[in-house]
Amino acid sequence: MVNGVINVRKEKGMTSFGVVARLRKIFGIKKIGHTGTLDPDAEGVLPVCLGKATHLVEELSGGTKSYRAVLLLGVETDTQDSSGQVLAQSEALPKEEEARAALLSFVGKQVQVPPMYSALKVNGKKLVDLARKGIEVERKGREVEFFSIEILSLKLPRIFFEVTCSHGTYIRTLCYDVGRKLGCGGCMESLVRTRVEEFCLKDALTLAEIAARKEAEDAAGAAEYSFVLPIDHFYRELPACGCSEGGVEKALLNGGSARLGELVPLAIKSGPGEMPEEAAGCVGNREGRAPDGQRIRIYTKDGALIGIYQVRGGSAELLRFYNV
């Protein structure tokens, strides 16, 4: 089974769930999850976790994200983007400097009310399902942060911009809020996600490209796929350790803990093309010197990642098990 993360370029017109469904067919596995929904009309970076890497979904979903978007002023819709039903229109557009100032004023921490047309749940029901039935419920505002907003071009009624923001931020709601602030209304006309933490648009692959590369590498007898980042790539800053004896390894594979003196430092690769890491910083040594709270990764003698552990009282205690 394939275990790792793929940087997928979601194409316009597909749902995020549709991307996962296609990947299940391409790889012939069921255990797949994406790290952050993109609306069907949006496109761009969508990291997808396969196999054991699905344990990383929550961790990867919480990072910062960057987008390239177009704000259309003078139009307000029920979905807050141009695909929705028009609720109001205005020809009284602001001056360019007013529009610029309004958008840039959102840099920093803001309280944003999630849109009704979203996958968020209230009392166990998705907001989008309620919205489609014409039901609107009260949503609590939540704090989000816009780390940067850069205006690329301003051609009213459109503003072309790039934004980097925190997890859980809705760019179409930003467009709606800017329109409300200007008094003319606004909606999002297009959206491309250009980055999710280390995953960038220039490196992302379409589903067709993934299928073609998999077929080519299967034919070449590749042991692992070059376009799939292994799980330990995302823990590469942590010291890597192995077991000094078979009994310790067996205990760890059964979910147990180990004394630091039973571990040995390793120099390993954490991704395709990467150089082996230095082992000098590994806390797994017979002196048992390591501060409580230090996280480490432990491997089997065959090089398989067992899990992520935390040092406590001279022992390595399990935090996340990957040998499942």
Q: What pLDDT score was predicted for residue 62?
A: 85
Q: What pLDDT score was predicted for residue 289?
A: 60
Q: What pLDDT score was predicted for residue 58?
A: 86
Tell me how many degrees the CA angle 145-151-154 measures, rounded to the nearest 5: 135
pLDDT confidence of 279, banded at 50, 70, 90?
Answer: very low
Q: Rounded to an integer, what distance in angstroms lies between the CA atom of residue 300 and that of residue 314?
A: 20
Whether residue 287 is predicted with pLDDT greater than 70 in this model: the reply is: no
CA-to-CA dists, residue 206 to 12, 17, 184, 291, angstroms: 11, 15, 37, 44
Whether residue 251 is predicted with pLDDT greater than 90 in this model: the reply is: yes
pLDDT confidence of 268, banded at 50, 70, 90?
Answer: low
4-63+199-219 and 235-321, same CATH topology = no
Q: What pLDDT score was predicted for residue 200?
A: 97
Q: Which CATH architecture has domain 65-195?
A: 2-Layer Sandwich (3.30)
Q: What pLDDT score was predicted for residue 273?
A: 41
Assess if CATH 2.30.130.10 describes domain 235-321. Answer: yes
pLDDT confidence of 324, banded at 50, 70, 90?
Answer: low
Domain regions of the chain by residue span: 4-63+199-219, 65-195, 235-321
Q: What is the per-residue pLDDT across 207-234, written as a single tens digit (0 to 9) for each?
A: 999 999 999 999 999 989 999 999 999 9
Q: Which of 39, 81, 177, 232 is catalytic?
A: 39
Average confidence score pLDDT of the chain: 89
Active site residue 39: yes
Q: What is the per-residue pLDDT across 140-179, written as a single tens digit (0 to 9) for each?
A: 889 999 999 999 999 999 999 999 999 999 999 999 999 9
Assess if CATH 3.40.640.10 describes domain 4-63+199-219. Answer: no
Q: What is the per-residue pLDDT across 13-45, written as a single tens digit (0 to 9) for each?
A: 999 999 999 999 999 999 999 988 898 999 999
Q: What pLDDT score was predicted for residue 222?
A: 92
